[in-house]
């Protein structure tokens, strides 16, 4: 089976290819961040700002910011993803719980231990 060329892929999934391109890079640099930011922007343009694809792209960018120790930016993106998942999937969904765990790790890294523990307890209440 032959790979489908970039320009022939459905527009709504091109943002995911942008993420794959960024993740296969051998280094993390300004270009990597731009690829992740562009993927988030493309997802929002293609499916709307309150769609699980946007939350997924925001999570990827937040994960990059965690790696770069840019915790304030990561926290904002994790919160954005959580809000979208709660609205679209519900606050009892596994992906919502996983997003809470991401946020808890971020809060812990920022030194907000009490907030982190409260978020972890909320996540455990969903899937233990």
pLDDT in tens, the chain (128 residues): 344 444 444 445 666 666 666 666 656 778 888 988 999 999 999 899 999 999 999 999 999 999 999 999 999 999 999 999 999 999 999 999 999 999 999 999 999 999 999 999 999 988 76
**pLDDT at site 115:** 97
Q: In CATH, which superfamily holds the domain spanning 11-127?
A: Tetratricopeptide repeat domain (1.25.40.10)
User: Helices (H), strands (E): how many in the chain?
Assistant: 6, 0
- pLDDT at residue 19, as a whole number: 62
Q: How far apart are CA 6 and CA 17, in angstroms?
A: 8
Q: Where are the domains of the chain?
A: 11-127
């Amino acid at each position: 089976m032959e790979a489908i060329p970039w320009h022939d892929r459905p527009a709504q999934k091109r943002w995911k290819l942008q993420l794959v391109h960024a993740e296969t890079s051998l280094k993390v640099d300004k270009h990597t961040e731009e690829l992740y930011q562009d993927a988030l922007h493309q997802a929002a343009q293609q499916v709307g700002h309150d769609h699980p694809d946007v939350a997924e792209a925001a999570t990827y960018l937040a994960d990059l910011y965690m790696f770069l120790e840019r915790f304030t930016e990561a926290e904002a993106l994790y919160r954005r993803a959580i809000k979208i998942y709660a609205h679209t999937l519900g606050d009892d969904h596994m992906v919502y719980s996983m997003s809470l765990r991401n946020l808890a790790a971020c809060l812990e890294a920022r030194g907000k231990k009490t907030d982190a523990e409260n978020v972890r307890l909320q996540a455990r209440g969903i899937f233990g």
